[in-house]
Structure 1
Amino acid sequence: MTDERPGTAADRARWRRYLADERAEAAVYRELAARRDGEEREILLALAAAEGRHEAHWLRLLDGDDSGVPRADLRTRMLGGLARRFGSIFVLALAQRAEARSPYATDPDATAAMAADERIHGEVVRGLAARGRRRLAGTFRAAVFGANDGLVSNLALVLGIGATGVPASVVLFTGIAGLLAGALSMGAGEYVSVRSQRELLEASAPDPTAREALVDLDLDANELALVYRARGMEEEDARDHAALVMARVRAAEQLAAPTDALAVSATHDDEAVGTGMSAAISSFLFFASGALIPVLPWILGLSGTAAIITATVLVSIALLATGATVGLLSGASPMKRAFRQLAIGLGAAAVTYVLGLAFGATIG
């Protein structure tokens, strides 16, 4: 037996980095699991156990020597910190991106099973993140759209008015009027929109009393299959599903069919829509908070070019933040979404500013 250890110095340094990252990722999943219960907790603990198997692989290559193991990479450490403090949907979205960046598919020392694990882990985390996204989808949509609309519309409004050369008091009053008008409009519009969407979903849901008729249906004619076909099933699948439901009813000699007899599949549409009041309140508050930012320089006593530049800078920071937030939650690049939001917002404001300059020159 020789004391020579396998792998070059560079190999062993890479294995130590992988070992550190696997340990940190397992800790993230355990932190998240500690804040959940039931099925989600079990899934997260299973992910942590899988990362533990990967950790054991790198430790074997290192002959059990974990001395000199570096700190995990910055992204994984940040993920761990967020998991400890928040344990939110943002952490799951970031974990989804982290799993997608795994280098195991091209690393000669990682097994095919490990590379496959990482890809599947990404889908598992995507599924967990999707649950959280559905829970906050309605309110979050209203919040993001409200804040973004408030930022962009009121910045465009005050820049356009300010560029005409009117007194600062006029710009301030216009901005406050735009804030109140926009927030009330957004809140009312969001309430009507969400209520209408929920009513459409309710109208499409099966009538719970219709299942009472199933026990008396002709088993041979079995028109229940038509219900499933009308709801999107293929003819053969509809017949098979109808036969199965009718068999359950007959075998159990039930007085009424099962509560799910008329449903094709369970959906989460109602959960994703949210409630009209919560969406309206979120939209009002976030529009108002967004619309307040462009007006702040005039509230603080600035005027002219200084106020315009300050308002633009403040709104730019806020647009970057909202864009990055959307990117995080969607599992996409936060930086890309942030700069896209910034470009759209400042582009819209620039149009009204140029029009304000032209109008100011005309009346001057």
Structure 2
Amino acid sequence: MREEHIPYEEEIKTKEAHKKREREQRLLFQDELAESENKYRSLFDNSTSAILIFNLDSEYVEANKAACDLLGYSHYEITHLKVKNIFNSFSHKEFELLYQDFLTKGNAKGEASITTKSGDKKFVDYSSIAFFIPGHHLSIINDVTHKILHQEKIKESLKEKEILLREINHRVKNNLQLITSLINLQMNSLDDKKSHGILTDVQSRLKSMSLIHEFMYESGNFASIKCKEYIERLVQYLRRAYLTGTKKIQTIITIDDHNYGMELVTYLGLIINEVVSNSFKHAFRKKNTGTISIDLRSVEKNYFLLTIKDDGDGFPNKIDINYISSMGIQLTNTLARQLNGKLEIQSSESGTTSLIHFVKN
């Protein structure tokens, strides 16, 4: 009889051992789960970022200490608020559109202003994840008020400097125009054509610089100038100053519509002033019609070529720019060197070409 009960007793022992292992595994899983929950809870509670959880009705259901400190509400008070109560800088329509977009994309991030319990306005950046657990969304919020206010101060400071620079450019332009007017008064009292011509040249040089400050004042851009538009206006002025009588001289300007720095444009303006004014004065003594072309182009990276060409009479003899007495050519050569460049003049009976090779820093 005893032998018949052994298998049954063994079966009981096996079942009990299996149940024991299951209990041990369940307890181990519960311990691991509890440990994991404690870790995440610790991260949640001790995070320096405000962390809030809200449900499908956009009602807050959980908030950490950082969120309470940021918003000024107690935990109980936050769990009786909706998201739009905090992010109240958006209109109802804007909020609904943003919320629907958030649900569709599954996430959202950006900057916004919020209102605390005390009514203070704060700027925050936020990052939200939709359905991080079933039926609930997560938001992480950081206070960036100090950064935003600092940026606003920088913007205000830049605006003040911009206004100051505009005023400086305006005054420089006016001062140059005043000098030009004084020269003009002096010219009216002169009968000497040579002196008259010298003062006209001085006026055109002043005008080339005055135009730069005029452009800066008009555009509000103090870092760069639209080179093509500037040169077009400069050439128009030179035409009025030097071209008289019945001569019909066409000007063709081929320049990329790019912005260049003030220093570079100043040198280019003075160079073009010298060469073009010289063409207007001397190149077409035997002709009533002709063409002056100005071409500025990039040859290689940071390497440029300015070509000023006329189809006038040309120079009678071969030119050595290092031994020529013409002040205009000497000044042009000096300006080219200021650009780390080189002036080359080619002249024949069919006209004169001035080539300025230079490097744009």
| TM value normalised by structure 2 | 0.23
More strand by share: 2
Name the structure, 1 or 2, with higher relative contact order (CA <8 Å, separation 6+).
1
| TM value normalised by structure 1 | 0.23
